[in-house]
Amino acid sequence: MQMQLFEQGLKLVVEALRSLEKRGFQADIRLLRRIEQLRIEETALCSISNPDRECAPKISEPILRVESESPRDRNVSEQLAMLRLTVSTCVKCPHLAASRHSVVFGVGNPRADLMFVGEAPGADEDMQGEPFVGRAGELLTKIIQTMGFQRSDVFIANVLKCRPNMPAGTSGNRPPTPEEMETCLPYLRKQIELIQPKVMVALGAVAMQGLFGKTEPMNQMRGRWHAFGSIPVMATYHPSYVLRSQAMSVKRRVWEDMLQVLERLELPISEKQRNYFMVR
């Protein structure tokens, strides 16, 4: 009965959005996709909790008919939703599970050509359940937009899905330990396997350590290509480092890394883009 009410409620929301479109308001496809994702997750959870009965509606019958979505795309969305459910109940690191407010799975386009990988959620991300939403997240969003994308066009995830716990009475964030990253890395590997991005960007030395086990200084790793399986990975400074530095030269180095990413994706680059953050 609850699933039927849930389905009816989502249909009413979609119908309301479609009605607004007819009056000249454009429904946000990202919102529609999120509604569909919620429906898939609720159906999957019902199936896990009640394996002996059929949960309506079936996952294979989406509310939202997106003409450009192929059967493979739908399958990827469903597998990501199932993976999200698995990650959301993970207790492999008991100390992190006990202290977290939410699991930060990742957000974005499951068909993204470009994927950004950070280190771990901070306090803002832990509260909101989404990666890169604080000041560093605002800067990352600006970088993405300057490249010609929207956040919804790319996929953003972290090596660690839980915020590293802090000692009682202390504030701020700490980097994840190698053991924590090793435990959580299979989830990121599965995300990468499902999304199959053409290019990845590793944000900061900790992300590079999580992905490759490398402990070199960031200024030696950034600006050049690394390979995660068959996927080229560009290493660059973490947005929080850029915020702390505020040096134009650092901003330019990050932007040069992003120009290499655009070239690797075979996307056009304007003269204006090439000249951003140039030190005169």
Which pLDDT does position 26 carry in this prediction?
Answer: 45
**Span of 13-22, 115-124, 139-148 with lowest mean pLDDT:** 13-22
Percentage, residues of the chain above pLDDT 70: 74
What lies within 8 Å, CB to CB, of 155 at 6+ separation is 106, 107, 108, 109, 110, 112, 114, 115, 116, 191, 195, 197
pLDDT given at position 67: 44
| Predicted structure pTM score | 0.75
Tens-place pLDDT, residues 54-108: 554 443 334 344 445 567 778 898 999 999 999 999 999 999 999 999 999 999 9
Out of 31-40, 253-262, 270-279, which region has the weakest mean confidence (pLDDT)?
31-40
Name the average pLDDT for the chain. 83
Instruction: Indicate the pairing of strand 225-228 with strand 231-236.
Output: antiparallel
* 15: phi then psi, degrees, rounded to nearest 5: -60, -40
Strand partners, 104: none
